Amino acid sequence: MNKIPELNPIEKKLKQFYRKSKERMLDVPCTRDEIMDVLLSSYTAMPDKNITQSLKTQIDEQIFILENMDVSFVRHARYTPAFWHNHDFFEMIFVQSGGCINYIFDRNISMQTGDICIMAPDITHSLSAFHDEDVIMNILIRKSTFEQSFFGLLDDNTILSDFFKRTFYQTSEIPYLLFHTGEDSVLSDLIDRAYTECAQPKRYRKQMVNTLLSLFFINLFRRHEQHTELSGIHPNSSEENLMYVLRYMQANYKTVSLKELSSIFNYSERQLQRIIQNATGHTFIENIQNQKMKQAADLLQNSTLPVSEISERTGFQSLNNFRKIFFKYFNMTPSEYRKTCTTKHTLSISL
């Protein structure tokens, strides 16, 4: 986005309320009822009745996402009073210019240009953007679509994919991811194109928007995976290298040891055990064995390599140890697993 859009009539009215009512502290989160007079007065003339209705009710997919679409783009109205709310879809907040404060429970997340915060459904939060230059895009994504376009792009057979899934579904921490992308024109262009496409009732609109969103996530991971701030880890903490640790484990799962990680990342082995366990829900050994078993299963299913060679390729020095651990994971021998996969594949072709 090259040019900051001027305030629209609703934003101008909201700005007037804000300036005239400093004592109400509209930029600090409050309940919806406390600022309902401001919202209704400002949005009354808005042609979209669904948006007006959403001010009074629980925010859900049916109100904000069209029935024939999977994604909706909503520019956050500047100077809107910050009020607590939640919704049943994934939300991605993209700061196109300026900044904002994203309040999530007891956390105040200061976001600047290029920052992207992805939040899971049912998370109570509040957004505060009170400057003319604060241009915030809210991308609302159905659960099923997010899982396909976000998780679907991740390789299932990786430690990192397990980590991201845990972040949203299995962690006790507040499930969000914050990416610091700076002024990345590639990401901005993809969002602008998707926003424009979404607003025009052209043929294949849904498919085009979903494709652009997938391209956005691909570039986000490719270019900024290392710029991720995690919900359970504060910047500058001893755990800020987590992404590098997990990527190193993933790339070197065949031979990596906890002692090697300790030396490379300058942590004690005890620290690393705690960091890895908190992030993934598994110990170091469990993560490495999980990775080996996923790779072994993939090779058994999609290659004709002998079991002995697959054992070596996945980092096992003993074939017997490989067979023992494989049986523990899959409740069958490697040969039985391969035979089962082959039978299923044959049946699917015949059908």
pLDDT, tens digit, 9 for 90 and up, residues 158-201 = 676 767 776 666 555 557 888 999 989 999 999 999 999 998 88
Which among 183, 186, 196, 217 has a CA at the least distance from the CA of 73?
196
CA atoms within 13 A on the CB side of 132: 11
The position carrying tokens 């995976």 is 225
Provide CB contacts within 8 A for 238, sequence distance 6+.
267, 271, 275
**CATH code at 286-350:** 1.10.10.60
Quick check: do 9-230 and 286-350 share a fold? no
The mean pLDDT of 39-65, rounded to a whole number, is 61
d(CA 34, CA 127): 16
Domain boundaries, the chain: 9-230, 242-282, 286-350
pLDDT, tens digit, 9 for 90 and up, residues 204-219 = 999 999 999 989 988 9
Which among 95, 82, 93 has a CA at the least distance from the CA of 120?
93
Exposed, middle or buried, 301 (CB in 10 Å: 0-12/13-18/19+)?
A: middle
- Which residues make beta-bridge pairs with 138? 74, 93
What is the b/e burial string over 115-128, where b = at least 16 CB atoms within 10 angstroms of the residue's CB? bbbbbbbebebbbb
pLDDT, tens digit, 9 for 90 and up, residues 295-337 = 999 999 999 999 999 999 999 999 999 999 999 999 999 999 9
pLDDT, tens digit, 9 for 90 and up, residues 116-140 = 999 888 888 999 999 999 999 999 9
Phi, psi for residue 28 in degrees, rounded to 5: -110, 135
The mean pLDDT of 73-92, rounded to a whole number, is 91
CATH superfamily of 9-230: Regulatory protein AraC (2.60.120.280)
pLDDT, tens digit, 9 for 90 and up, residues 213-262 = 989 988 988 888 777 776 654 444 455 577 778 878 888 999 999 999 99
